[in-house]
Amino acid sequence: MLACNMVGMIVSFCAGLFDPRVLNKAGPDWFWMGGRDDVIRNLYFRPNGRFRRYGLPALVLTLAAGSMAFFWLLQRI
């Protein structure tokens, strides 16, 4: 159940990133441990929830690199 909730949250977050109708791309504040002052959130997003200048490409690159690293790790097992 916990895994399904986590997958659903990540999918809805990624779907919200590319939906032009969503103004607050960072999602709700409870999604981040530190709320609006979270260090990781501030790397990609402004305090109002919009992306920083290179926030979207950086976030996509981070998610892609993390997925590739996880896949590479599973291949070595």
CA distances from 28 to 25, 54, 60, 69 (A): 9, 21, 19, 28
pTM recorded for the entire structure: 0.70
Structural domain range at position 19: 2-76
The number of distinct structural domains making up the chain is 1
User: pLDDT, tens digit, for every residue of 2-46?
Assistant: 788 878 878 888 888 888 787 888 877 777 888 888 888 888 999
Exposure string for 8-32, b = 16+ CB within 10 A, e = fewer: eeeeeeeeebeeeeeeebbbeeeeb
Radius of gyration from C-alpha coordinates of the chain: 14
